[in-house]
């Protein structure tokens, strides 16, 4: 366990088995961050905290990232509960034998090891659905991890340290701030981090589909099914955030509303997919309409599982009702990105910052390198 100030007893990055969920998440972090940027000035920890959250920070030349244990237990419990229903995600495996049970996750320290346990009246009955529940839960965690790494490698924490002398960023549930420009800057940086993890996640999905043996093991029969699971996983993330911290359109909010963030993530992922298609990065066809339909299915299934346990989310319906506010706040964030934040991040970023032209060029450059000794195909196998 690494010691850092008064939080030393609550943070850990070892003390679990190689096959544990904690180790898998740690490998995610090291894979996404470390393969590109090295780990010599990077520290990652789990934080013993039941809140669903994650944090990025820059201090004394080091990048810090932590993810709460509650994030892992809650996201796994939510996804496993969904797959334990006989009327949710019915197109995957045999849902008819499921017992509609609920999972509760718990972080424990036992036998000198950090562990995650799940309590349920009946486990998931179908082996295929059990396997997919783990895969989809890990997809949600990977998305959250990618968001925090996006804050770090895109230069957000260093810029905030310079501008506001406070580099720490939480993924959700921070108090609003009275400094309007700070709030606008934070909403802008959150949008950029969401776009970064949308790109990471879509890249992972498209590359995974090339691994036929792995796809066969998961009983996934088409790229459309992967898109359905992706849509479901991202909806679960933002609906879980909404459950604890509903967000309105306010000038002093650090985030756009969760349904607005969801829609922007889905679109950012689609733009990555289309760019890969245009530049022949993937060796199989994908269709924009199939993608839209598939992620729509995932969204509806996520709304069903929350509704089943008493929470009406209605993400798209509410977004339609707030369409003018959504467009106004989105335009404000886009303008702040183009006219203010983008130029300031240039000296801090360690990756390609979003712009249509530069992103497309980055994809073309990646295509040229992908078959080389250090190309993206080899990199992907490590993650």
Asked whether residue 74 carries a pLDDT value surpassing 60, the answer given is yes
Q: Which of 80-89, 274-283, 353-362 has the lowest mean pLDDT?
A: 353-362
Average pLDDT over residues 236-252: 94
* Residue 295, pLDDT score: 97
Q: Is the pLDDT of residue 352 over 80?
A: no
96 three-state secondary structure: helix
- 32: tokens are 């996404």
Mean pLDDT of the 323-348 span: 95
Rounded Cα–Cα distance for residues 258 and 269 (Å): 16
> pLDDT value at position 4?
43
d(CA 25, CA 2): 17
Percent of the chain having pLDDT more than 70? 92
Rounded distance between C-alpha atoms, residue 344 and residue 338, angstroms: 10
- The size of the chain, in residues, is 383
Average pLDDT over every residue of 294-321: 96
At residue 78 the predicted structure's pLDDT band, cuts being 50, 70 and 90, is very high
The pLDDT of residue 277: 93
CA distance 81 to 104: 8
- How confident is residue 15, by pLDDT bands cut at 50, 70 and 90? very high
Helix/strand/coil percentages in the chain, nearest 5: 60, 10, 30
How much is the average pLDDT of 97-114? 95
pTM here is 0.92
How does the average pLDDT of the chain come out, rounded?
A: 90
Cα angle for residues 283, 288, 289 (degrees, 5° grid): 130
Min mean pLDDT across 99-113, 121-135, 173-187, 274-288 is at 173-187
Query: pLDDT-based confidence at 8, cuts 50/70/90?
Result: low
pLDDT tens profile 172-214? 777 768 899 999 999 999 999 999 999 999 999 999 999 999 9
SS3 state of residue 66? strand
Q: Residue 59 has what DSSP assignment? A: E
The pLDDT assigned to 335 comes to 96
List the one residue out of 262, 293, 303, 296 whose CA is nearest residue 87.
Answer: 303
pLDDT score at 174:
73
| Model confidence at 58: pLDDT above 50 | yes
Q: b/e for 171-197, b at 16 or more Cβ within 10 A?
A: bbebeeeeeeebbbbbbbbbbbbbbbb
Q: Calculate mean pLDDT across residues 316-343.
A: 96
Portion of the chain with pLDDT greater than 90, in percent: 83
Kindly report, residue by residue over 25-55, the tens digit of the pLDDT: 999 999 889 877 889 999 999 999 999 999 9
CB 314 within 8 A of CB 242: no
CA dihedral angle for residue 382, residue 29, residue 131, residue 108, rounded to 10 degrees:
140
Please say whether the beta carbons of 104 and 118 come within 8 A. yes
């Amino acid at each position: 366990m690494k010691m850092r100030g008064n939080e030393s007893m609550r943070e850990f990055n070892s003390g679990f088995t190689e096959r544990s969920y904690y180790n898998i998440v740690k490998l995610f972090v090291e894979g996404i961050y470390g393969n590109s940027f090295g780990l010599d000035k990077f520290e990652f920890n789990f934080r013993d905290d039941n809140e669903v959250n994650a944090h990025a920070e820059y201090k004394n030349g080091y990048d810090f990232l932590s993810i709460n244990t509650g994030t892992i237990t809650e996201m796994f419990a939510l996804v496993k509960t969904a797959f334990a229903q006989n009327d949710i995600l019915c197109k995957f495996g045999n849902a008819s034998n499921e017992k509609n049970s609920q999972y509760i996750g718990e972080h424990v320290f036992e036998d000198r090891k950090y562990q995650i346990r799940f309590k349920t009246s009946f486990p998931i009955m179908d082996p295929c659905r059990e396997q997919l529940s783990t895969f989809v839960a890990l997809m949600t965690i990977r998305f959250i991890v990618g968001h925090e790494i996006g804050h770090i490698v895109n230069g957000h924490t260093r810029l905030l340290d310079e501008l506001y002398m406070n580099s720490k960023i939480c993924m959700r549930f921070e108090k609003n701030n009275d400094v309007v420009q700070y709030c606008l800057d934070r909403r802008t940086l959150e949008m950029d981090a969401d776009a970064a993890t949308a790109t990471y996640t879509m890249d992972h999905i498209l590359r995974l589909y090339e691994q036929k043996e792995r796809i066969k093991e998961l009983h996934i029969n088409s790229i459309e099914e992967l898109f359905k699971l992706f849509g479901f996983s991202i909806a679960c993330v933002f609906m879980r955030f909404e459950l604890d911290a509903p967000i309105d359109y306010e000038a002093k909010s650090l985030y756009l509303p969760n349904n607005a963030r969801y829609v922007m993530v889905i679109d950012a992922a689609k733009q990555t997919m289309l760019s890969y298609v245009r530049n022949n990065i993937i060796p199989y066809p994908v269709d924009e309409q199939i993608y839209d339909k598939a992620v729509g299915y995932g969204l509806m299934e996520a709304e069903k599982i929350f509704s089943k346990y008493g929470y009406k989310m209605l993400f798209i319906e509410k977004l339609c009702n707030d369409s003018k506010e959504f467009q106004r706040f989105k335009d404000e964030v886009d303008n702040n990105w183009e006219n203010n934040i983008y130029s300031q991040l240039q000296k801090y970023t360690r990756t390609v910052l979003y712009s249509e032209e530069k992103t497309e060029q980055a994809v073309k450059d990646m295509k040229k390198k992908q078959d080389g000794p250090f190309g993206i195909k080899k990199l992907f196998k490590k993650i």
